[in-house]
Structure 1
Amino acid sequence: MTAPTPSADRAVAVTGLGMITPAGVGREATWQGVLRGESTAAHDPELKELSSGAFSCRIPPFAPGEGRIGGGKAWRMSRFTQLAVLAAREAVADAGLDPKSWDGARVAVVIGSGLAGAAHLEEQTVRMHQAGPDFVSPVLIPMLISNMAAGEVALDLTAHGPSLATETACASGASALVVARDLLLSGACDIAVAGGTEAAISPVVTTGFQRMGALSGRNDAPVAASRPFAADRDGFVISEGAAILVLERAADAKARGRSGYALLAGTGASSDAHHPTAPAPGGTVAETALRLAVADAGLDVADVDHVNAHGTSTPLNDSTEAELIGRVLPHGPSVTSAKGVLGHSLGAAGAIEAALTALTIHHGTVPPTANLTPQNLEFPLNCVTGEPSHQEVRAAASHSFGFGGHNVVLVLRAV
């Protein structure tokens, strides 16, 4: 690279990863599933009443309740919170940390979610109308509110530092990592447990996306529905999942013998202020977030080897993002979108994709974009298709864009 290395006191290492996604339960299962490049979408019995978009990407069956959460705690948690707790446990263990021995006052938790307990609210609303108020759950509110994932993770890990929730729609998980890095660099904590979680696949929520024209209508072939950057894409596939990353100042990690998967070297954010749900034309304001993140990492845009794209498979998002990449990164870095495999997990997506980007750097392997071929690629992008691409990735940008005009870009570097 030609650009200077960030100063040592601003280097933040990703030392632990935890993931639960439709590709698999756990970090390694998810990574291997994404490398296979096979869509996880399938018809969803809970969505059978929908005229189109009656399919989803669900996490493979597993028991997130008493067998994993333990201590009689699962009953009070919505699914989005349960996923966050389990992913956080995996991430902390992966980092070689033990909550029983750390200084909890120096551990922060920051977790984003787009719709939080919306699916539970929908269920409880039906129960109230059918059976009356006495049958509404007494823990409806803690199961609903978006901060409870962070709260329960902090409780589970005995983390007494700042505990925060971010809400920037589909950029929420990425925003959590921005805030967590800022907390580390400000000295407010020594360890940050951060990421995103979402479990909002429900009839009403999915219908809402379907009614606004955001979902794919390929009811006859769900497995082929999510096709980022393809000329015949027609919408996203709703999904669920969680990813938690453990962040530490690189010097602190090194002192305990950990180099980490990658460095979270730079972050950038901007607001389109253009439309409630549509991106600003050409990605002109998202460009600001990308350039800020690259500069924060001490790099030039020409140093970006790889882009983990937001890549939702919607006509407008993909064309806008492709224009952004082509304009700002004309040297042709490799591009992939995990949403071809995983679907769109909304507020969890940015964290899942950041974790995958860290693994891409660590392994020198770029996963392919499912359902995309060179023949149906609409844009002049260097998209990885078919098989994983083995590539030394020294610096990568992970894009996240959310309703409300939220743009968040993370730049990760090799350790």
Structure 2
Amino acid sequence: MERVMITGMGAISPIGNDVETYWSRLVQGESGVTSIPTFDASRYKTRIGGFVQDFDPEARFGRKEARRMDRFSQFAMAAAEEAWEDSGLILEQVDRERLGVYVGSGIGGIQTLLEQEAVLRNRGPERVSPTLIPMIISNMAAAMISIKLGALGPSLSPVTACSIGNTAIGEAFRLIRYGIADVVIAGGAEAAVTELSLASFGNATALSTRNHEPTKASRPFDAGRDGFVMGEGSGIVILESLSHALRRDARIYAEVIGYGASSDAYHMVATHPEGNGAHQAMKSALLEAGITPGEVDVISAHATSTEVGDRSETLAIKRLFGEHAYRIPVTANKSMIGHTLGAAGGLEAIALVQSLREGIIPPTINQEQADPICDLDYVPNLARKADLEVGMSNSFGFGGHNAVIVIRKYKE
């Protein structure tokens, strides 16, 4: 079986529109959560979110191409372009029949849908855009990337809610591992902070209402947490077989060594209170990686800042790792960028790779009041230097979808 490497990365996030900026601000513990800048949220329970700043799609893609893509596809395309350039791959030297794209989105083009629904009601059916459907369907990010590169290999848009990024990376990992593809562009994208989604999540009491302190609203594992903060962005990685990477003398960032997936089979939106599905996914990922729990040096937690979710993930970690759980640093990137839904797994995988490469663990900010159940080492408030070899990244989604990947520092 092939070993699977990460050779390129691209990020669009609330704290930076490239990997270097995103990582630098993450390590500094900077929050990208602000008051909502895109619409009047005065009537909403929650009036904050994690928004991508200074992103000009027309400058990036040209007016015509930009207008054919919803914002989530624009994010995915921008992150994929950065990742491709970062990888050093030359399209003419890649077997395009063995070049795949696994990029998903949980909600897809909801902003385009809302805009065109308004056109229908106010201006009539004759004025509705003929590109509405291709712009809103969630597979379009993967499709547009495939079209851009002429990638003829397998193309997939997984829809596993907030675990999409890890599902995409994990399934792409296996695609390469079993010799079906040489290179796969993998990750997720989301741009769903709209009036409708904010109202729905708010009425479900899932969102933080700490509107007066946006930067302190997302606080995973802290006893004062009151819900998650919606965010947007995209995280894309280039996965490549080791043999393919070595043939072209590629720079290798890290190695994906395991993937585990499971279902809670419990509830439409609630996490299993004891973290059964999370435990199973982590256990499966370690089994495929061929390592023991004691070999994991850092965990990038799903950690959305909800009471049940954070507690159940903590319980799952304790159950799997035993006493070692108290010796593993657990970091929560969502404390700074909010919950970017389908983009979360990709963005958090990038951060984990950077941690392994540089020996720095980003902090979990807004740690002020201890929760007696959430009593692990969450790297509170300040980044930490550490000797790291193996990291685990957790992603869990509505409907009980769980996806976990294990990444190791590259060794020849």
TM-score, structure 1 as length reference? 0.95
Which of 37, 40, 48 is 2:32 aligned to?
A: 40
> What is the Cα deviation at residue 134 of structure 1?
2.0
Query: 2 CA distance for matches of 1:70 and 1:393?
Result: 42
Alpha-carbon displacement from aligned partner over 1:264-318 (angstroms, at most 9, x marks no partner): 1100000010011111121122211101101111100111110000010011100
1:135 alignment partner AA: R
Query: 1 CA distance for matches of 2:105 and 2:294?
Result: 33
Structure-1 residue corresponding to 2:102? 110
Query: 2 CA distance for matches of 1:361 and 1:50?
Result: 44
Structure-2 residue corresponding to 1:191? 183
Structure-2 residue corresponding to 1:64? 57
Say whether residues 1:139 and 2:131 are aligned partners: yes
Alpha-carbon displacement from aligned partner over 1:343-371 (angstroms, at most 9, x marks no partner): 00001101111111111111111000121
Gaps spanning 5+ residues in structure 1: where?
Answer: 1-8
1:159 alignment partner AA: A
Say whether residues 1:87 and 2:82 are aligned partners: no
Say whether residues 1:363 and 2:364 are aligned partners: no
Structure-1 residue corresponding to 2:242? 250
> What is the Cα deviation at residue 257 of structure 1?
1.8
Query: 1 CA distance for matches of 2:192 and 2:361?
Result: 29
> What is the Cα deviation at residue 175 of structure 1?
0.6
Residues 308 and 398 of structure 1 are in contact (CA less than 8 Å); yes or no, is this contact kept in structure 2? yes
Say whether residues 1:265 and 2:271 are aligned partners: no
> What is the Cα deviation at residue 161 of structure 1?
0.8
Query: 2 CA distance for matches of 1:211 and 1:387?
Result: 34
> What is the Cα deviation at residue 47 of structure 1?
4.9
Query: 1 CA distance for matches of 2:295 and 2:353?
Result: 16
How many pairs were matched up?
405
1:60 alignment partner AA: Q
Residues 33 and 50 of structure 2 are in contact (CA less than 8 Å); yes or no, is this contact kept in structure 1? yes
- SS of equivalent to 2:225: coil
Which of 298, 321, 339 is 1:306 aligned to?
A: 298
Query: 1 CA distance for matches of 2:16 and 2:260?
Result: 30
Alpha-carbon displacement from aligned partner over 1:205-254 (angstroms, at most 9, x marks no partner): 11111111110011111111000100010001110000110001123212
1:142 alignment partner AA: P
Structure-1 residue corresponding to 2:143? 151
> What is the Cα deviation at residue 258 of structure 1?
2.5
Residues 77 and 145 of structure 2 are in contact (CA less than 8 Å); yes or no, is this contact kept in structure 1? yes
Query: 2 CA distance for matches of 1:207 and 1:34?
Result: 29
Which of 195, 205, 216 is 1:203 aligned to?
A: 195
> What is the Cα deviation at residue 38 of structure 1?
1.9
Alignment of 1:146-185 (within 5 A): 146-185=138-177
Question: Residues 207 and 47 of structure 1: is their aligned pair in 2 closer, same or farther, counting only changes over 3 Å?
Answer: farther
Say whether residues 1:31 and 2:23 are aligned partners: yes
Question: Residues 71 and 255 of structure 1: is their aligned pair in 2 closer, same or farther, counting only changes over 3 Å?
Answer: farther
> What is the Cα deviation at residue 339 of structure 1?
0.4
Residues 47 and 55 of structure 1 are in contact (CA less than 8 Å); yes or no, is this contact kept in structure 2? no
Structure-1 residue corresponding to 2:381? 386
Alpha-carbon displacement from aligned partner over 1:123-175 (angstroms, at most 9, x marks no partner): 21122112211222121001100110000001111211111100000001111
Which of 86, 90, 95 is 1:98 aligned to?
A: 90
Query: 2 CA distance for matches of 1:324 and 1:381?
Result: 12
Say whether residues 1:53 and 2:23 are aligned partners: no
Structure-2 residue corresponding to 1:339? 334
Identity of aligned residues (%): 40
Residues 12 and 18 of structure 2 are in contact (CA less than 8 Å); yes or no, is this contact kept in structure 1? yes
- SS of equivalent to 2:10: strand
Which of 335, 344, 350 is 2:345 aligned to?
A: 350
Query: 2 CA distance for matches of 1:229 and 1:10?
Result: 38
> What is the Cα deviation at residue 51 of structure 1?
2.9
Query: 2 CA distance for matches of 1:49 and 1:124?
Result: 24
Query: 1 CA distance for matches of 2:306 and 2:33?
Result: 16
Alpha-carbon displacement from aligned partner over 1:381-406 (angstroms, at most 9, x marks no partner): 11112221111211111000000000
Gaps spanning 5+ residues in structure 2: where?
Answer: none
- SS of equivalent to 2:395: strand
1:53 alignment partner AA: T
Question: Residues 148 and 296 of structure 1: is their aligned pair in 2 closer, same or farther, counting only changes over 3 Å?
Answer: same
Alpha-carbon displacement from aligned partner over 1:318-344 (angstroms, at most 9, x marks no partner): 011111112222312111000011000
Instruction: Give the superposed CA RMSD.
Output: 1.4
> What is the Cα deviation at residue 410 of structure 1?
0.5
Residues 47 and 202 of structure 1 are in contact (CA less than 8 Å); yes or no, is this contact kept in structure 2? no
Residues 225 and 237 of structure 1 are in contact (CA less than 8 Å); yes or no, is this contact kept in structure 2? yes
1:51 alignment partner AA: Y
> What is the Cα deviation at residue 71 of structure 1?
7.9
Residues 398 and 411 of structure 1 are in contact (CA less than 8 Å); yes or no, is this contact kept in structure 2? yes
Query: 2 CA distance for matches of 1:319 and 1:284?
Result: 12
Structure-1 residue corresponding to 2:313? 321
- SS of equivalent to 2:391: strand
> What is the Cα deviation at residue 115 of structure 1?
0.3
Query: 1 CA distance for matches of 2:295 and 2:46?
Result: 39
Query: 2 CA distance for matches of 1:236 and 1:280?
Result: 17
